[in-house]
Structure 1
Amino acid sequence: MDQVTLSKPHDRLADALSDEMRAVDRLIRDRMVSEHAPRIPEITKHLVEAGGKRLRPMLTLAAAKLCGHQGDADVKLAATVEFIHTATLLHDDVVDESAQRRGRPTANLLWDNKSSVLVGDYLFARSFQLMTETGSMRVMEILSNASATISEGEVLQLTAAQDLKTTEEVYLQVVRGKTAALFAAACEVGGVISGAPEEQVDALRAYGDALGIAFQIADDLLDYVGDASSTGKNVGDDFRERKLTLPVIRAVALASEQERAFWQRTIEKGQQDEGDLDTAMELMRAHDTLEDTRLTAEAWARTAREALEVLPEHPLREMLSDLADYVVSRLS
Structure 2
Amino acid sequence: MVSSSSDPLATRHSTVSRENVREEDALKVLSAYLADDMRACNQAIIDRMQSSVPLIPQLGAHLVAAGGKRLRPLLTLASARLCGYQPSAEQQRHVGLAACVEFIHTATLLHDDVVDESTLRRGMASANALFGNKSSVLVGDFLFARSFQLMTADGSLKVMAILSEASATIAEGEVLQMSTQNDLSTPIERYLEVIHGKTAALFAAACRVGAVVAEQSEKEELALEAYGTNLGMAFQLVDDALDYAADQQVLGKTIGDDLREGKITLPVLAAYDAGTEEERVFWKRVIEDNEQTDADLPRALDIIARTDAIKTTLKRAERYAHKAAEALEVFPDSELKALLVKTVLYTVNRVN
Q: TM-score interval w.r.t. the shorter chain? A: over 0.9
Name the SS of the counterpart of 1:291 in structure 2.
Answer: helix
Query: 1:49 & 1:279 partners in 2: Cα distance?
Result: 36
User: What residue is the counterpart of 2:6 in the other structure?
Assistant: none
2:286 is the counterpart of 1:270: no
Q: Match for 2:64 among 23, 44, 48?
A: 48
Query: 1:224 & 1:18 partners in 2: Cα distance?
Result: 34
User: What residue is the counterpart of 2:47 in the other structure?
Assistant: 30
Matched ranges for 1:1-332 at <5 A: 7-35=24-52, 37-71=53-87, 72-330=92-350
Query: 1:288 & 1:47 partners in 2: Cα distance?
Result: 36
Q: Which runs of 5+ in 2 are unaligned?
A: 1-22
Query: 2:262 & 2:161 partners in 1: Cα distance?
Result: 35
Query: 1:274 & 1:118 partners in 2: Cα distance?
Result: 34
* Counterpart residue identity of residue 82, structure 2: L
Name the SS of the counterpart of 1:70 in structure 2.
Answer: coil
Name the SS of the counterpart of 1:242 in structure 2.
Answer: coil
Q: CA deviation at 1:212?
A: 0.7
* Counterpart residue identity of residue 34, structure 2: L
Q: CA deviation at 1:258?
A: 3.1
* Counterpart residue identity of residue 69, structure 2: K
CA, structure 1 residues 7+256, in 2 after alignment: closer, same or farther (shift >3 Å)?
A: closer
TM, length-normalised to structure 2: 0.88
Q: CA deviation at 1:316?
A: 1.0
Q: CA deviation at 1:68?
A: 0.8
Aligned residues: 325
Query: 2:185 & 2:320 partners in 1: Cα distance?
Result: 24
Query: 2:118 & 2:254 partners in 1: Cα distance?
Result: 14
Query: 1:93 & 1:274 partners in 2: Cα distance?
Result: 22
Q: Identity percentage over the alignment? A: 55
Instruction: Give yes or no for contact 2:201–2:229 (8 Å, CA) kept in 1.
Output: yes
Instruction: Give yes or no for contact 1:242–1:270 (8 Å, CA) kept in 2.
Output: yes
Q: CA deviation at 1:231?
A: 1.6
User: What residue is the counterpart of 2:20 in the other structure?
Assistant: none
User: What residue is the counterpart of 1:3 in the other structure?
Assistant: none
Query: 2:308 & 2:128 partners in 1: Cα distance?
Result: 38
Higher relative contact order (CA 8 A, sep 6+): 2
C-alpha RMSD of matched pairs (Å): 1.7
Query: 2:75 & 2:271 partners in 1: Cα distance?
Result: 34
Query: 1:256 & 1:88 partners in 2: Cα distance?
Result: 37
Q: CA deviation at 1:159?
A: 1.6
Q: CA deviation at 1:167?
A: 1.4
Instruction: Give yes or no for contact 2:116–2:261 (8 Å, CA) kept in 1.
Output: no
CA, structure 1 residues 226+314, in 2 after alignment: closer, same or farther (shift >3 Å)?
A: same
Name the SS of the counterpart of 1:98 in structure 2.
Answer: coil
Instruction: Give yes or no for contact 1:28–1:79 (8 Å, CA) kept in 2.
Output: yes
Query: 1:157 & 1:250 partners in 2: Cα distance?
Result: 17
Q: Deviations over 1:248-278 (max 9, x none)?
A: 1122234444332211111111222344334
* Counterpart residue identity of residue 142, structure 2: Y
* Counterpart residue identity of residue 340, structure 2: L
Query: 1:142 & 1:82 partners in 2: Cα distance?
Result: 15
* Counterpart residue identity of residue 331, structure 2: L
Q: Deviations over 1:85-133 (max 9, x none)?
A: 1111111111111112112222212222111111111111110110111
Query: 2:275 & 2:309 partners in 1: Cα distance?
Result: 11
Query: 1:26 & 1:235 partners in 2: Cα distance?
Result: 33
Query: Is 253-262 or 317-326 further displaced after alignment?
Result: 253-262
